[in-house]
Amino acid sequence: MNGILNFIVSFATTPALLVGIIAMIGLLLQKKPTSAVIQGGVKTFAGFLVLTGGAGILVNSLTPFSAMFQHVFNAKGLVPSNEAVVALALVKFGTPAALIMLVGFVVNIILARITRFKYIFLTGQAMLYVSTMAAVVLASAGLGTSWLAILLGGIFEGTLLTITPALTQKYMRKLTGSDGVAMGHTGNMGYALAGYLGEKFGNPDPEKSTEKLNIPKNLGFLRDSTVSISLVMMVVYILLALIAGPHFVEGSTLSNGTNYIVYAITQAGTFAAGFVVVLQGVRMILAEIIPAFQGIAAKLVPNSKPALDVPIVFPYAPNAVLIGFFVSFIVGVISMLAMLGLHTTVIIPGVVGIFFCGGAAGVYGNSFGGVRGAVIGSFVNGLILAWGPLLIMPALGSFGAGAASTFADSDYIVSGGLLGLTGKAGSAALITLILGFLVVVLILNVILNARDKSKAK
């Protein structure tokens, strides 16, 4: 039993395999030739491996950045990291987390089938992270690891992962120029807010987009995203390396004897290379998964859209990614200093999470609001990432008190914090909240459908 469960969980949390199989299913439903089915599945599988490989390069190049930053500020506290906190939590909550994830995926498919929210959440690691958070919060609220907790956790996860892509779809349509793909990430609430604020307070003039920054002709080479990202990151890495000093950087934990300036330049270049790899992976996936989903939409879930991981938006506004990252990071540093002054638990900026979530917030803010929208959107998102972890920590109970990390993204902060707060009123209140959440989504579906029918008359 454990072996079968381990296989299912491993398969479902390996996005490359999951999405490759789904692409093949979609092509089979369209009665494509065997060669086309195999080609589509393999190219989608390979595209996801390219994307995740690029993301891994980005993460590895940001690790020394984070180490130098903590050394410079000599700060001690919690570093928000979904990967770290989930790894710790799975030791105790692995089985209920896995079962919650499976129930949640079924609920997601059912809701996508019967409601207007046609989003199939395909980011496997995010599904596991949400199920782990739910397992920890429900156990801390007194439900333990019972079948009731697993069922409630699955309902909660499936409903959450169905509705949150809808929050950002307006901006995805603007970014991609179509309605064929959605955002499947746990920062969706923050991205939707960034897009909204960018639209309300930014500059809608297309000429004010981050991608049309007025660069002098003699600096025209900066329009190449690979060049601009490399140069900007080189400046940042070199400054941080200079402040950290050669003794620290050239130690065994970082450069291991390589000159600290050379090391900084190399890491900046590696970051840019990872970014290029991510963009190539995104292109490969989109070329295969959207046509394949036409078959799934026609047969199983009409008009369904794949909700994919956050790097899917990076090719549409690379400049906005950089702006969003730096604005969110600066907000995180200022917030950390404020926490030191206020003598609260100190949240040390998690550079990896800030890059992906802050960068995406910049892209969404830019979609309708240009440079100003990117700055405003990523600024507010930075505040959420900086202060939000303080809100979810109490919801994690004794586990949260003993962990050296916590959940990072906006959807964990809002939903986990709300579950934890409600859980303090007892298990009955928690059950009411989760089932109420599902009922609200179903009622919202009826209301929106009725509104659309009245408009059509």
Q: What is the pLDDT of residues 313-351, one digit of tens each?
A: 988 888 898 899 889 989 988 998 898 888 777 787 877
The alpha carbon torsion through 127, 286, 181, 187 (nearest 10 deg) reads 40
pLDDT band at residue 434 using 50, 70 and 90 as cut-offs:
very high
Question: Strand, helix or coil at 306?
Answer: strand
Whether residue 76 is predicted with pLDDT greater than 70 in this model: the reply is no
Q: Which two tokens stand for residue 296?
A: 């799934």
Which is more confidently placed, 329 or 18? Answer: 329
pLDDT for position 1: 58
Whether residue 220 is predicted with pLDDT greater than 60 in this model: the reply is no
* Average pLDDT of the chain, as a whole number: 83
Q: Which residue from 381, 385, 364 is spatially nearest to 373, judged by alpha carbons?
A: 364
pLDDT for position 206: 83
pLDDT for position 298: 62
pLDDT for position 217: 61
Whether residue 19 is predicted with pLDDT greater than 80 in this model: the reply is no
Sort strands 79-80 and 405-406 into parallel, antiparallel or unpaired: parallel
pLDDT for position 419: 87
Which is more confidently placed, 206 or 400? Answer: 206
pLDDT for position 319: 86
Q: Which two tokens stand for residue 24?
A: 């093949």
Mean pLDDT in residue range 157-171: 95
Which is more confidently placed, 119 or 95? Answer: 119
Mean pLDDT in residue range 416-424: 85
Taking only the tens place, the pLDDT of each residue in 225-264 is 677 677 777 887 888 888 888 888 888 678 888 898 999 8
pLDDT for position 293: 66
Sort strands 305-308 and 182-183 into parallel, antiparallel or unpaired: parallel
What percent of the chain is modeled with pLDDT above 90?
25
pLDDT for position 290: 67
Find out whether 386 and 411 touch, Cβ atoms under 8 Å.
no
pLDDT band at residue 18 using 50, 70 and 90 as cut-offs:
confident
pLDDT band at residue 73 using 50, 70 and 90 as cut-offs:
confident
Taking only the tens place, the pLDDT of each residue in 377-389 is 999 999 999 998 8
Mean pLDDT in residue range 255-284: 83
Which is more confidently placed, 50 or 432? Answer: 432
Q: Which two tokens stand for residue 170?
A: 């307006």
E strand map for 337-413? 405-406
Mean pLDDT in residue range 390-419: 77
Residue 98, CA distances (Å) to 105, 141, 154, 169, 324 in order: 11, 19, 10, 28, 33
Q: Is the dihedral of CA 349, 350, 355, 359 positive or negative?
A: negative
Which is more confidently placed, 95 or 225? Answer: 95
